[in-house]
């Protein structure tokens, strides 16, 4: 289940709802009720606290076998890190991705919505992978590779390497 968090672009959420089921081999729906950013904003950092948003997502849990993915345009941080593209915790069905630093405009470059969609998709799959208990992968082409920059994200694919894919299958199929 995808939850818009704050005022995120609806077309990105719709793109993810369309593309994620193929890679994750699971159905995906968009929640009609967005999650508020209120109270998670740090005035000094000008960023929102990612971990607080995960708690808000978790509060929306209605069933044990549903994963909750938040998508936001707010810039996210987890102390002490300066920023994160997203966050997920092990054994927690909630995860979140931010489009903020995935946009070319953030780096002073012309807007490229296609590239933005692809980056969002990879980061969403990555965080969902964590929700299913997957750890980081050393294969730079695998979607579970830890990306420190958009260049890293652009280099990896939107799919799992055979090893990660095998682990995912074990956890999604009973
Ligand atoms: Zn990760
Ligand atoms: Zn892998």
Query: Does 156 reside within a domain?
Result: no
What is the mean pLDDT of the segment spanning 141-163? 97
Checking if the pLDDT of 174 tops 80, the result is no
CB within 8 Å of 166: residues ≥ 6 apart: none
What is the model's pLDDT at position 172?
84
Checking if the pLDDT of 121 tops 80, the result is yes
Overall number of domains in the chain: 1
What is the mean pLDDT of the segment spanning 18-25? 94
> pTM for this structure?
0.95
Angle between helices 10-24 and 113-131 (to 10 degrees): 50
59-65: Cβ within 8 A, 24+ apart: 60/1, 60/3, 60/31, 60/33, 60/35, 61/93, 61/94
Distance 61 CA to ligand 1 centre (A): 22
What amino acid positions are annotated as catalytic residues?
127
Q: Can you give the CATH number for the domain in which 47 is found?
A: 3.40.390.10
2: which DSSP letter?
Answer: E
Question: pLDDT tens for residues 69-102?
Answer: 999 999 999 988 899 999 998 878 999 999 999 9
What is the mean pLDDT of the segment spanning 157-161? 97
Q: Which of 23, 7, 40, 17 is nearest to 132 (CA)?
A: 23
Distance 150 CA to ligand 1 centre (A): 14
What is the model's pLDDT at position 7?
86
The range of the structural domain enclosing residue 54 comes to 2-133
Query: Does 164 reside within a domain?
Result: no
Query: Does 111 reside within a domain?
Result: yes
Query: Does 167 reside within a domain?
Result: no
Query: Does 65 reside within a domain?
Result: yes
d(CA 48, CA 42): 6
Concatenated DSSP letters of 65-103: T--EEEEESS-EE-TTSS-BSEEE-TT-SEEEEESGGGS
Lowest mean pLDDT, pick from 6-20, 132-146, 160-174? 160-174
137: which DSSP letter?
Answer: -
Residue pair 20/28 in contact by the 8 Å Cβ criterion: yes
Of all residues in the chain, what percent carry a pLDDT higher than 70? 99
Give ion ligand 2 contacts, CB < 5 A.
137, 139, 142, 144, 161, 164
Residue pair 119/103 in contact by the 8 Å Cβ criterion: no
Query: Does 106 reside within a domain?
Result: yes
Query: Does 9 reside within a domain?
Result: yes
From the number of C-beta atoms within 10 Å of its C-beta (0-12, 13-18, 19+), residue 61 rates as middle
What is the mean pLDDT of the segment spanning 57-65? 92
């Amino acid at each position: 289940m995808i939850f818009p968090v704050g005022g995120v672009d609806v077309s990105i959420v719709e793109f993810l709802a369309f593309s994620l089921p193929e890679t994750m081999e699971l159905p995906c729906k968009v929640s009609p009720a967005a999650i508020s950013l209120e109270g998670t904003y740090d005035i000094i950092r000008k960023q929102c606290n990612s971990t607080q948003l995960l708690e808000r997502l978790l509060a929306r849990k209605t069933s044990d076998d549903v994963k909750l993915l938040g998508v936001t345009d707010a810039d996210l941080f987890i102390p002490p890190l300066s920023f994160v593209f997203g966050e997920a915790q092990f054994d927690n069905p909630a995860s979140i991705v931010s489009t903020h630093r995935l946009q070319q405009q953030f780096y002073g470059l012309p807007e490229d919505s296609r590239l933005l969609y692809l980056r969002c998709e990879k980061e969403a799959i990555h965080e969902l992978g964590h929700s299913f208990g997957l750890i980081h992968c050393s294969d730079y082409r695998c979607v579970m590779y830890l990306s420190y920059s958009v260049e890293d994200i652009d280099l990896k694919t939107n799919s799992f390497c055979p090893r990660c894919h095998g682990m995912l299958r074990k956890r999604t199929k009973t």
